[in-house]
Structure 1
Amino acid sequence: MTRNRATLIGLTAVVLWSTIVALIRGVAEAMGPAGGAAMIYTVGFILLCTTMGFPRPRAFPRAYLYVGGVLFVAYELCLALSLGYATSSRQAIEVSLVNYLWPSLTILFAVVFNKHKASALIIPGVLLAFIGVWWAQGGAQGLGLAGTLANVRGNPLSYGLAFAGALIWAAYCTATARMANGKNGATLFFGLTALAFWIKYLGGADTAMHLDVSVAVQIALAGAAMGFGYAAWNVGILHGNIAVLAVASYFIPLFSSALAAVMLSAPLAAGYWNGAGMVCVGSLLCWRATRS
């Protein structure tokens, strides 16, 4: 496989992952936050098994298996439930931007905990990413504290889960870099995530599932976006141009928001787009700060 072809395959993962916010929200509206996510991650697990093989737990280092597994499942729970518990499709998109703080946080954690070298550019990068989230939540007024606080107070559970997810995924990327020994446990962790959602659905008070053709298509697409996205990304980072893939991945907040706004019929204010752009630029600055 040529490097350009592998890079192109890796870039398809960026496109696939950009559809996840809209698809998870759409399925959650019909099947409930936990039930919808359980179906999506089950499909994703099956597709990953077909593309990457059935996982064997003994093949992974124990520290990676336990710590990585817990962090991975916790992140996916936070992500899906933050979108599912949003009060509207528009709020789900706004909440998703909080989750996209993880790229800048990951680089910050790598510098602090893994002793990676970075220039002073990382400071404005992290600050810009956080200001971008703040700006986006302010609505049409932009950098408005009142609008931001009103959004968060209106649904602290969704916003809290999204921010917790950003912290958890940054911790996952930082910790597993030292534990994995080159192993990729995504398939196994997807199966554990699906199991966690089924336990939550069966043991909770989630709404009854209403499955029809439209919802089934969304479940299949969401599962494919996750399953094939991880498989495509794995090819890209192993054989493609990592720098190109990294830069493209930092624009997922914009791609994801644009697709979600169209797919969910949820127009967004200009202030949101300004904030989303700041999050992307902030992540790029953090990434640039660590480039030797």
Structure 2
Amino acid sequence: MQHTKGNILGLLTIFLWSTLALFTVYSGNIPPFELLSISFFIASLIGVLMLKKQKRSFASLKTIPLKAYIIGVSGLFGYHFFYFLAIKNAPAVEANLLNYLWPLLIVLFSALLPNEKLKWFHILGTILALIGAFLLVLKDGSLEFDTKYTLGYAFALAAALIWSSYSVISKTLTHVPTFAVTGFCIITAILSFIAHLIFEQSITPSITELLAAVMLGLGPVGGAFYLWDFALKNGDIKILGSLAYLAPLLSTLILVLVGVSKMTTSIALACLFIVLGSIISSKQYLKTIINLLFKS
């Protein structure tokens, strides 16, 4: 039951991540690290409410092992830090494509975990989804890996490696309760604010921009991390890694629906590859997933 619940919450996390682009668009001119500090502040409040609901004191965060804090903060802050550096130091298309290697890396790295087996359909499905992500990121633009952007590409690869490693290592930390993410978010909010002061010029956000930042904290850059932690520790990490490619797909479709982007042939092909890849990689659980969808 926990296994199925983990997979469902993992899918919900992916849906939340798909709103990232939409709320980022509406966040307007808020600098990246200022936006992160606001979002992770909201995420921290979610964790505090979680502690209260579980009748735990704030001091409960002191019981979390230092190792878990190092892994958690490295994952949350490290990923976003290198991702934003990548966007600043390389063309967005190429940086995003390299960043979208993280779901594939999750599937591959999961083979290193005890009692985990990588089967042919996991690899095939993830590769098809990666092709879809490639088409999605490319759209009608050009793709050229220029050596002058090597540093930016390195940052994007670092981001992909950090998030995939964090996700796979989290699978081994089943003894660490999900409320520990509260501590990770608090430290990440502080580090993001420090990075903002070092790298950026502060702005006063408008009401719309501030609401978008709050929504990011409630969803894709905040609340989603609690769900992802539970999903990783209880669900099937290979399935979750493959399904993660639905995030950029759904994100693009949401932008199309609200009129920010337009449907193109490459987006349609991306839909086909990502959905096909996700179905193939989830082959052994397909019947269970269909039953869950129709029963709910």
TM-score by length of 1: 0.72
Work out whether 1:65 is the aligned partner of 2:69.
yes
Equivalent residue letter for 1:169: W
The 5-angstrom pairing of residues 200-219 of structure 1 reads 200-204=195-199, 206-219=200-213
Unpaired runs of at least 5, structure 1 = 142-146
- Alpha-carbon distance in 2 for matches of 1:155, 1:258: 29
- Alignment partners' CA distance in 2, 1:160 and 1:289: 35
1:255 to 250, 256, 261: 250
Query: Which of 215, 225, 249 lines up with 1:221 in the alignment?
Result: 215
Deviations 1:118-143 (A, max 9, x none): 222233234324433433344348xx
Q: 1:232 to 1:118 in 2, by over 3 A?
A: closer
Does 1:167 pair with 2:171? Answer: no
Which residue of 2 is the match for residue 40 of structure 1?
Answer: 39
CA contact under 8 A between 1:61 and 1:181: conserved in structure 2? no
Go from structure 1 to structure 2 and tell me whether the alpha carbon gap of 1:81 and 1:223 turns closer, same or farther (over 3 Å shift): farther
Deviation at 1:165, TM superposition (A): 2.2
1:71-99 CA-to-partner distances (Å, cap 9, x unmatched) read: 33211323456568887xxx57x865654
Counterpart of 2:188 in structure 1 is 193
- Could you tell me whether the CA contact under 8 Å between 2:243 and 2:278 is conserved in 1? no
Contact 2:44–2:185 (8 Å) recurs in 1: yes
- CA displacement at 1:26 relative to structure 2: 3.6
Q: TM-score, normalized by length of structure 2?
A: 0.71
Structure 2 stretches of 5 or more lacking a match?
A: 53-57, 287-296
* Percent identical residues: 20
Which residue number corresponds to residue 292 of structure 2?
none
Q: What do the CA deviations read for 1:108-162 (whole angstroms, capped 9, x no partner)?
A: 1011455621222233234324433433344348xxxxx2216x77977766544
Equivalent pair of 1:35/1:198 in contact (CA under 8 Å): yes
Aligned residues: 276
- Label 1:288 to 1:174 Cα distance change in 2 as closer, same or farther (>3 A): farther
- Deviation, structure 1 residue 198: 0.7
Q: 1:211 corresponds to which letter in structure 2?
A: P
Q: Residues of 2 paired with 1:60 and 1:221: CA distance?
A: 28
Q: Match of 2:50?
A: 51
Structure 2 CA distance for partners of 1:219 and 1:200, relative to 1, 3 Å: same
Whether the 8 Å CA contact 1:122–1:289 is kept in 2: the answer is no
Q: State yes or no: 1:125 paired with 2:125.
A: yes
**Is the CA contact 2:139–2:266 (under 8 Å) kept in the aligned structure 1?**
yes
In structure 2, do the counterparts of structure 1 residues 233 and 83 end up closer, same or farther at CA, with 3 Å as the change threshold? same
